């Protein structure tokens, strides 16, 4: 068993695969039972991604952003995947320029370079 008990900063159980913590041993074990995939993108990569609602085609946009952070998502909420790779992006071009976006890896269309690179 890989699950370890943690005491600080709060009591609970931690998934040894992704590092997320849970109040119960059962939740941590469920999290650990999911596979992990390597990250496709690095911090500093410039990427194009899907932004908006798939249910409202007219509100979809494809901005460009720079990856500032990345982490592995733990147990899913709603229809989110477990152990999906997640990225924090600062939008540098397109709708929402200057804003921060949180995107799952499957919402990223392509890498277009490293931030600050000349084409």
The most confident of the ranges 4-8, 50-54, 63-67 is 63-67
Is residue 88 a contact partner of residue 69, using CB atoms and an 8 Å limit?
Answer: yes
d(CA 97, CA 93) in angstroms, rounded, equals 5
State phi, psi for 86 to the nearest 5 degrees: -125, 145
pLDDT tens for each residue of 33-57: 989 999 999 999 999 998 865 555 5
pLDDT tens for each residue of 71-100: 998 887 777 777 889 999 999 998 788 999
The band of 66, judged by pLDDT with boundaries at 50, 70 and 90, is very high
């Amino acid at each position: 068993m890989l699950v370890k008990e943690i005491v600080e900063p709060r009591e609970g159980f931690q998934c040894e695969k992704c590092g997320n913590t849970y109040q119960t041993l059962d939740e941590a074990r469920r999290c650990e039972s999911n596979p992990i995939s390597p990250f496709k993108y690095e911090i500093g990569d410039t990427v194009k991604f899907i932004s908006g609602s798939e249910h409202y085609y007219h509100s979809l946009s494809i901005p460009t952003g720079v990856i500032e952070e990345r982490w592995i998502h733990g147990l899913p909420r709603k229809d989110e995947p477990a152990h999906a790779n997640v990225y924090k992006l600062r939008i540098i071009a397109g709708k929402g320029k200057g804003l921060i976006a949180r995107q799952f890896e499957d919402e990223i269309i392509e890498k277009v370079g490293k931030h600050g690179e000349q084409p």
